[in-house]
């Protein structure tokens, strides 16, 4: 049983990107805290695995196969969820190319998923919360990539920087409705998305992150899931427009 401030019993959450990695870990933890979780992702097999894990643990979950770049599909998922208390907009993709090598289609694809997909989810969730007068919590997924420059991550970093600005603007606009909006900006987390690198590159990146972190390790999806749970719960009731950075201390901005 979670501490009272983290008890989400009776609440309903929508988690995008729930088929794997951070999204799955977040959905599992929110369900463990008592919420009914609507899991959304375009990976139908992974989505079924996530919902099965939740129900096996005694939680309540529903699967919504969808593409976050399709506003209508997100609107339908929110409508099917009914009263919505929590949105965790986690779905995202990675792309690597130098500035001079970046193509229009690269930028368009990353912005479509990592920014527009978050925007659409936030818009639909906010409209639902306002309509039901729900003092809900919206959590967006930014990245530690916005805190420093990295070769090859222009598209990804630009989209995540846009998410941070979206978060702050939404927090300002939705505050009068009692709706909180915050971002999670993880450091390097070992997920299926980051593990798509070749083994040598993966080892080099992780070794560098281990050396840079005062904690001496790379992150796991569960590290980020706890940040999501905190922002979803009443424990963060006076927190909005903020960026929570589970990054192992690799970057310590003011």
> Residue 172 and residue 63: Cα distance in Å, rounded?
31
**Whether 225 contacts 241, CB under 8 Å:** no
- Whole-angstrom distance, CA of residue 47 vs CA of residue 44: 5
Alpha-carbon distance of 17 to 30, in angstroms, equals: 14
Sheet with 12-16, strands from edge to edge, namely 60-65, 36-41, 12-16, 86-89, 137-141, 180-184, 243-244
CB 61 within 8 A of CB 51: yes
Residue written as tokens 């995008």?
16
Angle (nearest 5°) at CA 105 between 101 and 109: 115
Assigned token pair, 246: 């589970």
Which residues does the annotation mark as catalytic?
156
Strand 243-244 versus strand 180-184 pairing type? parallel
Q: Which two tokens stand for residue 33?
A: 């805290």
């Amino acid at each position: 049983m979670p501490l009272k401030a983290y008890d989400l019993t009776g609440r309903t959450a929508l988690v995008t990107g729930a088929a794997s990695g951070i999204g799955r870990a977040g959905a599992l933890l929110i369900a463990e805290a008592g919420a009914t979780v609507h899991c959304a992702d375009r990976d139908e097999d992974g989505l079924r695995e996530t919902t099965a894990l939740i129900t096996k643990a005694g939680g309540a979950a529903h699967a919504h196969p969808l593409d976050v770049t399709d506003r209508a599909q997100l609107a339908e998922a929110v409508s099917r969820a009914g009263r919505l208390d929590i949105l965790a907009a986690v779905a995202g993709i990675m792309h690597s190319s130098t500035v001079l090598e970046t193509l229009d289609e690269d930028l368009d694809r990353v912005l479509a998923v990592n920014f527009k997909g978050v925007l659409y989810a936030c818009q639909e969730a906010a409209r639902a919360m306002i309509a039901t007068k729900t003092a809900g919590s919206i959590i967006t997924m930014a990245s530690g990539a916005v805190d420093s420059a990295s070769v090859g991550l222009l598209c990804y970093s630009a989209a995540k920087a846009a998410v941070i600005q979206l978060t702050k603007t939404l927090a300002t606009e939705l505050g009068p409705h009692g709706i909180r909006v915050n971002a999670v900006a993880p450091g390097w987390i070992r997920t299926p998305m980051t593990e798509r690198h070749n083994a040598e590159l993966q080892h080099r990146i992780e070794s560098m992150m281990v050396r840079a972190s005062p904690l001496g390790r790379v992150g796991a999806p569960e590290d980020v899931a706890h940040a999501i749970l905190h922002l979803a719960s009443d424990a963060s009731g006076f927190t909005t427009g903020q960026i929570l950075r589970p990054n192992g201390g690799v970057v310590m901005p003011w």
